[in-house]
């Protein structure tokens, strides 16, 4: 019984009516072809290879368990390389993969460019042994997770970083966004700030949802504040997005802002200065990620550091364990952040 059907490279599917063609090409019975395709026992290795060769000759895709992975390729999909946190993840993951003898294939998405799904098709064509996603479509709550379910049905190991989605049969590696807000806000409250804004990206993304919730919970707990809508700005994860959000927060009396990325924080600093404010004397800014070179900005940026090294290593280990056939726990593995205090934050201005 041919219970599973394998996709043809051109888009058609192998059905029971095609068994006869494969059987003729391989010189075996249709029943033997079915046993090979469904990975049933009782078939000699030489006969199994005959059937697999026939599949190749006729242009059908082999079942996932028979695809050659001799080159040990691993797909690594990242959103873009403008935000320095993504190259940091890519470098860490690549170095760990190489250490274990695997070759990473870096796929970088760009606005209006190659989509994640297009990269996946290319990676499958190259016989990758697994895929690691960094802030991929899984982090977008408006996107379906069916694409990941299909990969798991093919038996392909995957690991997803930052953006937990319930129901996906894979290991998730995440930074603790709620704890990150707690660290940043506790620092600013200790400095005397009361009007503290939050500048983040679109709330359709899981990490943003968590940051906003963490911010609201911390402000309520630390300052007794519930009416916070005018202090939460959702924008783009860019310099320009951070600048526009900071401008609106400053106009509403904020003396400090926690930003969803270091790039946004640099935009916030630029906007504050364009309005004649000093950072941090008049307006404090906290970034997010602790990207490369952030310690050398003017002023050096106070930021929440993601555990990129530990997260990247955990993602690689989870993927390689599954490739090796070892049981990998499902669900979300959450890593604790660290607040790195530098010179972009100071005591709240006395005028407030």
Q: What is the pLDDT of residues 326-345, one digit of tens each?
A: 877 888 999 999 999 999 99
Kindly tell me if the per-residue pLDDT of 22 is higher than 90. no
pTM, 2 dp: 0.78
144-177 confidence digits (pLDDT tens): 999 999 999 888 999 999 999 999 999 999 999 9
> Residue 1: its pLDDT value, please?
28
**Is residue 268 within 8 Å of 199, Cβ to Cβ?**
yes
Check pLDDT > 70 for residue 10.
no
At 184-216, the pLDDT tens digits run 999 999 999 999 999 999 999 999 999 999 999
Residue 307 belongs to what H/E stretch?
none
Percent of the chain predicted with pLDDT > 70: 90
Break the chain down into helix, strand, coil percent, rounded to 5: 45, 15, 40
Mean pLDDT score, 87-114: 88
Crossing angle (nearest 10°) for helices 116-125 and 146-153: 10
Could you give the domains of the chain?
Answer: 16-66 (1.10.260.40), 73-175+308-334 (3.40.50.2300), 177-306 (3.40.50.2300)
d(CA 11, CA 14): 10
pLDDT value at residue 142: 95
- Judge whether residue 7 has pLDDT over 50: no
For every residue of 185-235, DSSP letters joined together read: HHHHHHTT--SEEEEE--TTBHHHHHHHHHHHHHHHHHH-----GGGEEE-
């Amino acid at each position: 019984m041919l219970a599973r059907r394998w996709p043809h490279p051109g888009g058609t599917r192998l059905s029971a009516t095609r068994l006869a063609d494969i059987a003729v090409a391989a010189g075996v019975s249709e029943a033997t072809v079915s046993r090979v395709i469904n990975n049933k026992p009782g078939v000699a290795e030489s006969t199994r290879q005959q059937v697999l060769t026939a599949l190749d000759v006729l242009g059908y895709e082999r079942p996932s368990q028979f695809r050659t992975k001799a080159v040990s390729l691993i797909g690594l999909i990242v959103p873009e390389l403008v935000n320095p946190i993504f190259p940091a993840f890519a470098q860490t993951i690549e170095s760990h993969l190489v250490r274990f003898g695997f070759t990473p294939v870096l796929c970088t998405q760009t606005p209006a460019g190659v989509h994640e799904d297009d990269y996946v098709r290319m990676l499958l064509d190259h016989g990758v042994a697994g895929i690691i996603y960094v802030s991929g479509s899984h982090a977008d709550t408006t996107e379906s997770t069916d694409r990941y379910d299909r990969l798991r049905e093919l038996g392909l190991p995957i690991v997803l970083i930052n953006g937990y989605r319930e129901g996906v049969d894979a290991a998730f590696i995440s930074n603790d966004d709620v704890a990150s807000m707690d660290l940043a806000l506790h620092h600013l409250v200790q400095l005397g700030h009361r009007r503290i804004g939050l500048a983040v990206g679109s709330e359709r993304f899981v990490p943003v949802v968590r940051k906003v919730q963490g911010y609201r919970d911390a402000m309520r707990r630390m300052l007794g504040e519930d009416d916070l809508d005018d202090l939460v700005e959702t924008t783009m994860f860019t310099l320009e997005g951070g600048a526009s959000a900071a401008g609106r927060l400053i106009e509403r009396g904020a003396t400090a802002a926690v930003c969803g990325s270091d790039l946004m924080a640099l935009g916030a600093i630029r906007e504050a200065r364009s309005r004649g404010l000093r950072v941090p004397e008049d307006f404090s800014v906290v970034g997010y990620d602790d990207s490369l070179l952030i310690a050398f900005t003017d002023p050096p940026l106070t930021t929440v550091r993601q555990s990129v090294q530990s997260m990247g290593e955990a993602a690689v280990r989870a993927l390689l364990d599954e490739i090796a056939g070892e049981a990998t726990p499902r669900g979300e593995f959450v890593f604790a952040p660290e607040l790195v205090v530098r010179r972009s934050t100071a005591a709240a201005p006395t005028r407030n």
